[in-house]
Homo-oligomer: A and B are copies of this chain.
Amino acid sequence: MRNFKMLLEYEGTRYQGWQRQESTENTIQGKLEALLSKMCGHKVEVQGSGRTDAGVHARGQVANAHMDTDMTAEEILAYMNRYLPQDIGVLSVEEVSDRFHSRLLAKEKIYCYQVINSSLPHIFDRRYAYAYPAPLDIEACRRAASFLVGTHDFAAFTSAKKGKKSTVRTIEEIRIEKEKDIIRFYFRGDGFLFHMVRILTGTLLEVGAGKRKPEEMEALLESGRRELAGALAPAVGLTLLEVRY
């Protein structure tokens, strides 16, 4: 079996997220596995760097798959782009060592959460951004973000049930940029818990709207209580930009 690494982009709008599900064929992983299994004539499992939620997009998702095939990486790339739906694209395929594992070896991920901060429609951005028309104090968002950067227990910022798994993660950087009416929140870190980026964004938006103070972030982290953090920002605004190894 040869091991292939793939760089993927997809528009999440139509899908029930990355992860294969028994109840629906409508997942990114499901589409990829069905196609590659057909291509190889044996069951292929596609391992992603991580799951993306229903409706979340990716510009740089990384996956790998062990396949028994004589095709070259270039031929696999062409085959996939020919038969995948229009909203899933493969940007590169390369053969890698047997030991490459897209999830276990991922060192860093970068996400972008995009907000349309306007009462006017932005119809060309509507599929990739969350419309949040209330005035936002970006400096307050940045101050709040500065408390979140670093190594913390992010239990308050995940929808995952409490269990044995650690909820400690390191956020290397949160960068907030404004370009006209579009505000982008960039998150770079060693890994993110279930819903973590969306809850972080939802909380930062509440700070920006004046509903919370930036200084509250410290106590929030310490509390570990999800119900004290902000709302889960909608999936539409979130894009996985890059996975680093």
Contact = CB atoms under 8 A, between A and B. Distances in A.
Copies of the protein in its oligomer: 2
Contact of A123 (B89, B121, B123): B89
Nearest to A85: B123
A86 B126 contact: yes
Interface in A47-67: 57, 59
For chain A, what secondary structure do more than half of its interface residues adopt (helix, strand, loop), or is it mixed?
Answer: mixed
Contacts of A120: 81, 89-91
Interface residues of A, number: 21
A53 to B, nearest CB: 18
A87 interface: yes
Nearest to A80: B121
Interface in A169-195: none
Interface of A: 9-11, 57, 59, 78, 81, 86-91, 119-124, 126, 128
